[in-house]
């Protein structure tokens, strides 16, 4: 997995003041070819695959492998990983960045695969799309039995030259910000030791 290094403000001094919109503004400029239709088409594919997985009846471990495939095919994983590592990426060497990127991808599949697995018996539907600066926000609704519907929002860009989602909000929780906080907390527990954090990440989620 290629690792995209992005300059970011200090996690410890700035993170608390960031907003959901502020997180998205860190996204590099995207190509003009991205349209509302293509952004919606991408999330249509993502939603169709998630609905297929949660309706498959597979074991949790098998579902998580399938969810990892969704992230690998449709997610801007290099951007998400770089954002999560934040300012600490500046002191990581190439081997550490590669190891973090691989471990982070597996961690994301476990964590969010388990969350999507909670949607078994329900459906996800695309509700609308709107442009926000250089990316698009695609709204979806999750309908579960015995529970009020709630939203999952995807942010889509094509900074890589390919339409990919680079952020998600599940019931208002911002993936980019929550994962930067999580990785920061792991580093803090390990006294800033990147290798120890990566090792912890391999069993997290």
pLDDT at 187 over 70: yes
Confidence tier at 15 by pLDDT (50, 70, 90): very low
Which pTM was predicted?
Answer: 0.81
pLDDT value for 117: 84
Inside any domain, residue 38? yes
Residue 22 has pLDDT above 60, yes or no: no
Classify residue 166: in a domain, yes or no: no
92-111 confidence digits (pLDDT tens): 999 999 999 999 999 999 99
How many independent structural domains does the chain possess? Answer: 1
Which of helix, strand or coil describes residue 9? Answer: coil
Q: Which helix (H) or strand (E) holds 10?
A: none
Residue 118 has pLDDT above 90, yes or no: no
* Residue 144 domain-assigned (yes or no): no
pLDDT at 20: 38
List 140's β-bridge partners, or say none. Answer: 126, 152
pLDDT tens profile 132-145: 988 999 999 999 88
* pLDDT tens for each residue of 43-75: 999 999 999 998 898 998 999 999 999 999 999
80 is a domain residue: yes
Residue 32, pLDDT score: 54
When pLDDT is averaged across residues 125-131 and rounded to a whole number, the result is 95
Task: Identify each DSSP E strand in 84-184 by its residue range.
Answer: 123-132, 135-144, 147-157, 164-170, 173-174
Judge whether 97 lies within some domain: yes
Its domain, for residue 96, covers 32-121+176-201
Describe the strand order of the beta sheet including 135-144 as a list of residue ranges: 123-132, 135-144, 147-157, 164-170, 173-174
Please tell me the predicted confidence (pLDDT) of residue 25: 43
């Amino acid at each position: 997995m290629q690792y995209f290094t992005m300059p970011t403000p200090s996690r410890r001094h700035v993170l608390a003041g960031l907003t959901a919109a502020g997180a998205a503004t860190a996204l590099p400029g995207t190509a003009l070819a991205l349209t509302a239709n293509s952004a919606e088409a991408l999330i249509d594919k993502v939603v169709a695959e998630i609905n297929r997985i949660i309706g498959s009846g597979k074991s949790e471990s098998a579902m998580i492998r399938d969810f990892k495939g969704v992230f690998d095919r449709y997610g801007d994983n290099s951007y998400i990983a770089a954002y999560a590592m934040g300012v600490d990426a500046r002191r990581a060497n190439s081997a550490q960045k590669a190891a973090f990127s691989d471990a982070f991808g597996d961690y994301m599949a476990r964590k969010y695969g388990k969350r999507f697995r909670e949607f078994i018996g329900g459906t996800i539907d695309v509700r609308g799309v709107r442009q926000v600066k250089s990316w698009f926000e695609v709204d979806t609704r999750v309908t579960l039995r015995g529970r009020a519907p709630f939203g999952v929002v995807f942010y889509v860009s094509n900074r890589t030259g390919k339409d990919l989602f680079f952020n998600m909000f599940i019931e208002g929780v911002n993936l980019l910000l929550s994962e930067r906080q999580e990785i920061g907390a792991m580093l803090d527990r390990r006294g800033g030791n990147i290798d120890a954090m990566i090792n912890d990440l391999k069993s997290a989620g």
